[in-house]
Structures are given as C-alpha cells and as structure tokens.
Amino acid sequence: MQLNFEPGRFYHNDAADNLLGEITYTQIDDQTISIDHTFVAPTYWHHGLARQLLQAVLDLAIQNHWKIVPVCPYAKKVFQQEEDIQYLLKNPIQNQEN
C-alpha cells in the first residue's frame, strides 16, 4: 500500500481521494517528535493500515535519530506491546508491578 507524506503526517487515500488512514506527528525539538493521532476508516480496520502508518513514522524517526513521545492511544498501545521498538521512546516504559 502506497503511503503519502507531508511534513507532520503520513496518510493513505483511495482512488477517489477519500482519506482511509493517517498518522500525525509533531516536532517537539531537534531530537524528539510526538505521535499525536492515528486514524483509520472503519472499512480498513484490521487490515494493518494503522501499523503501516506507525511504521512509516518509526522509520522516519530512526533515519533522523529522533526519540518519540507517543500521545495517541494507538501508538501508546503498540509501544507497550512491542519491546523491540521501545528504544525509540523518549521516556522508557517502566515495569509496573501491581
């Protein structure tokens, strides 16, 4: 699936130019971005589009040596579930014992 890029966002539109998914990020400083919002149209839920969008931001962060502050719930969830990407976090996830 081809993703489009504009500074601050990756997105995917269908042939009729309808937005099917997007992820937005904000440059906090020279070394840090926040992932602010992830949207996927209901017809594309469970097709991996959200993860593809997130991966595009992760790849950009790796390329630019940026750390990430996940703000949107989807990004937070993925960072909690996938230990192999947690090195990109500005503030590492702490193990919490209940």
The CA distance from 85 to 93, in Å, is 11
Residue 10 has pLDDT above 70, yes or no: yes
Q: Is-above-0.85 flag for pTM?
A: yes
Instruction: Name the pLDDT band for 96 (thresholds 50, 70, 90).
Output: very low
pLDDT tens digits along 24-76 = 999 999 999 999 999 999 999 999 999 999 999 999 999 999 999 999 999 99
Total number of domains in the chain = 1
Q: Taking a C-beta distance cutoff of 8 angstroms, is the pair 76, 82 a contact?
A: no
What is the DSSP pairing of strand 32-40 with strand 19-29?
antiparallel
Residue at 35 is within a domain = yes
- Residue 11: CATH number of its domain: 3.40.630.30
The domain of 13 spans 1-46
Residue at 42 is within a domain = yes
pLDDT at 94: 56
Q: Taking a C-beta distance cutoff of 8 angstroms, is the pair 33, 70 a contact?
A: no
**Region of residue 46 (phi > 0: left; psi between -120 and 50: alpha; otherwise: beta):** left
